[in-house]
Chain A
């Protein structure tokens, strides 16, 4: 194993494959931000593995010059779990989408979160099925007209952050494809986290669901509709930094900092380690009148599955000695003939 780490640049992580996403797709930005962050992590290139399922997002590994594994629909988290448990030395990333990760792969998603296996999960959420050309996804909004819902989507959507928090993920964050600098910061935080790191990225599908996140990404509207989360900082937002979020009981409400009734001291101070707050923040996306929180919602440390497994192996070896096949086959009741 090479200890020395080469100095990489983003281009070292680019492959010779033609990128086949539609021109204008939000996936390009996510790819670029990941390629910019990886060189800074001080991890040898050959120790990165990108694993995906099926869907537009899942083409991701082909464009990363690392080890890459394009799996089957929904199973990336399960494949990654096995690899990480077998090989805790690797830096393992899952690229998935709202269909792949929340629908067919929903079960594996919640279980990797609860086990806290150290895998970084990037969920490209475009709220539509792109690769199969435009059916609604489990994150599509209620009532949306799509190819498979001519009278409107009849199901209530998943809230990916709430799902991850409900499964007690130890790191939960949200980013935007159109905010590259912020996205890089969050990717870096995810990379450094010890445990399952879940990052939902709002990603525009300009072919089948164009403009889904326009409120949060366009210059004119984004400041009034996005609150950027910073640990220990009060939740201030707005073009003029003149609005904030205050808790009334457990309900977040928007208050004006200009009306003389409220000051910064009334606002929620973000605390990444506050479990109850994380649920409140995650639920804000269910209310269109509230700004959308972006950044690290939740980050706590708890034991990683693979560390516990390693510990159990070490304990067993300490107690029973290194496995001895001869001893195993001959232990307990045996008898001799002849």
Chain B
């Protein structure tokens, strides 16, 4: 029979199973194929916090969500249209993210008594009518996988391991995706074991054929290519993008990159990634603690490298005193904080935006540090690069805020041309005549970078207050006040050296939604959707939080009302109100989860009713 094909402009699929079921791999294969077809997309993995949670339990469920479409895609999707559930626990954990009327493809063999009990079901939800509001397809995936390859003489374990590929085959059929990319990947990945190559290809094709020939699926779908900017693309996660942005800045500035870091979720991948690129002469120092991470980076910067330290909220707290030292020393330094749920240990694997105050204000005394915020996974590349540019040009520590959501999320990225990256000119002082360690560039107020090993420039620096120009220790009251103001002025002047803020939508109107960091996708989706419905709403997203861009105050004045959605209790809202004396409406969420676009849409409706 011929099946009906429907055209969709966007789809969200969630693959969910036990940690050992290969869901991340299934998701990334579907992602690669979808990218090659020219869809726009956004993905988010969802790992269990436990390393090896018991099989079949709800703690052990691993998920991968992909949102793709023929239109612009800015988030991994609020709710999913399809849930692939390999066992009862996967169904239980993920059901609440499936929309009403959505499709469930369940591995029927996985719903045995043992797994049902582990997931806390008395009877199988596939049979008890509790899933009535969804389209449920219970497929004997394990059995069908076994049938496809039982003649190859593989162990039961190997056969079981291929069942995710069967599910992938079904999804390829359902969304009209070609299998070539995955077949090529299988051939390459398992080239040393031809029987595994054969098995996986057979299972993939069996899954595809199952969709085509059986009558349980009444419809299949097509999603046409999106209107994307031409160019060469790749998929990139936020943590990868931070690492590569730092490497790119190292190459373009000619400075060696030094990373002093202590492992912490969800920032560790930056350390992992950089430790794999030693041929760029990057030195990764896995320190004994967070403090040694930043202290070693300061030492390296003093020596003429670009010192970087990467961490998450609790680690940033530990680095506080050393950040103050870097302010006093006026050395370049990049501090990356991949924010997670807090306070204290909090929710290590969940996202939040509640370190903004800590970044902007969290030091003893007056210790201004520029604060940047990346908005999307790929945007982390640009902001890491920008952090190095500002740090070296202004001789200052710079904090880059990202969060667990964009750090782990991935999106297609137009690969930049290396020659198109802005230059990062760096100058080490070598001239001994008239050298003063705290003399300043007239425009940037940066002091000279005079590194050890330079003849004639021997000098002393430290955390004690400096005398203007000479850098000698000074307890003079007027000098102290002068230096406090000078350090502030230096950071304030950065506002003259960054692009002005751009509004998405009209330059004035009834409502401006102001966000920062990882909420970009959700706010953009929400505002676009409301604009299409004729609402007078625009979007301003801040990548520079300290100092703010010069025109932010002007922009705020052009709107009747201002809404600030944040994954905290209103930290940007407070900074904006304090600086610009404008009333703002807050929308706050602190559940360890990103915003869903609909939550922002509802708030916009409430304001503009």
- B305 at interface (Cβ–Cβ under 8 A)? yes
Contacts of A315 in B (CB 8 A): 278
- A325 at interface (Cβ–Cβ under 8 A)? yes
Inter-chain contact A322/B279, CB cutoff 8 Å: yes
- A45 at interface (Cβ–Cβ under 8 A)? yes
Contacts of B296 in A (CB 8 A): 78-79, 81-82, 85
- The chain B residue sitting closest to A52, CB to CB, is B462
Complexed CA–CA distance, A90 and B305 (Å): 14
- B234 at interface (Cβ–Cβ under 8 A)? yes
Inter-chain contact B228/A329, CB cutoff 8 Å: no
Complexed CA–CA distance, A6 and B330 (Å): 31
Contacts of B258 in A (CB 8 A): 82, 85-86
- Report if A87-B233 is in contact (Cβ < 8 Å); known contacts: A68-B461, A312-B278: no
CB-contact partner of B288 in A65, A111, A316, A335, under 8 A: A111
Inter-chain contact B303/A86, CB cutoff 8 Å: yes
Contacts of B247 in A (CB 8 A): 323, 325, 328
Contacts of A62 in B (CB 8 A): 460, 462, 473
- Report if A81-B303 is in contact (Cβ < 8 Å); known contacts: A71-B325, A90-B453, A337-B233: no
Say which size band chain B's interface belongs to. 35 or more
Inter-chain contact A68/B460, CB cutoff 8 Å: yes
- The chain A residue sitting closest to B306, CB to CB, is A86
Contacts of B303 in A (CB 8 A): 82-83, 86-87, 90
Interface stretch, picked from B32-40, B109-117, B388-396, B439-447, is B32-40
Inter-chain contact A316/B228, CB cutoff 8 Å: no
Contacts of B288 in A (CB 8 A): 78, 107-108, 111
Complexed CA–CA distance, A81 and B464 (Å): 22
Contacts of B459 in A (CB 8 A): 67-68
Taking the closest CB of chain A, its distance from the CB of B423, in whole angstroms, is 14
Contacts of A65 in B (CB 8 A): 458
- The chain A residue sitting closest to B243, CB to CB, is A328
Complexed CA–CA distance, A86 and B229 (Å): 41
Complexed CA–CA distance, A123 and B240 (Å): 42
- A232 at interface (Cβ–Cβ under 8 A)? no
- Report if A335-B232 is in contact (Cβ < 8 Å); known contacts: A1-B453, A49-B452, A83-B302: yes
- B304 at interface (Cβ–Cβ under 8 A)? yes
- The chain A residue sitting closest to B417, CB to CB, is A326
Inter-chain contact B453/A313, CB cutoff 8 Å: no
- A75 at interface (Cβ–Cβ under 8 A)? yes
Inter-chain contact B297/A82, CB cutoff 8 Å: yes
Q: Which of A300-320 contact B (CB under 8 A)?
A: 309, 312-313, 315-317, 319-320
| Residues of chain A whose beta carbon lies under 8 Å from any beta carbon of chain B | 1-2, 15, 17, 44-49, 51, 54, 61-62, 65-72, 75, 78-87, 89-90, 107-108, 111, 309, 312-313, 315-317, 319-323, 325-326, 328-330, 332-338
16 interchain pairs (CB within 8 A)?
A46-B457, A62-B473, A68-B460, A79-B302, A82-B260, A82-B285, A87-B304, A107-B289, A108-B291, A317-B279, A323-B279, A325-B251, A328-B244, A333-B32, A334-B233, A336-B232
Instruction: Identify the 9 closest CB pairs spanning chains A and B, nearest first.
Output: A338-B230, A70-B462, A82-B296, A82-B299, A323-B280, A78-B295, A68-B460, A83-B299, A86-B300
Extra inter-chain contacts (15) besides given A49-B452, A108-B288, A321-B279, CB under 8 Å: A15-B460, A46-B455, A62-B460, A65-B458, A68-B460, A68-B462, A69-B461, A78-B288, A87-B300, A90-B452, A90-B453, A322-B279, A323-B277, A325-B247, A337-B230
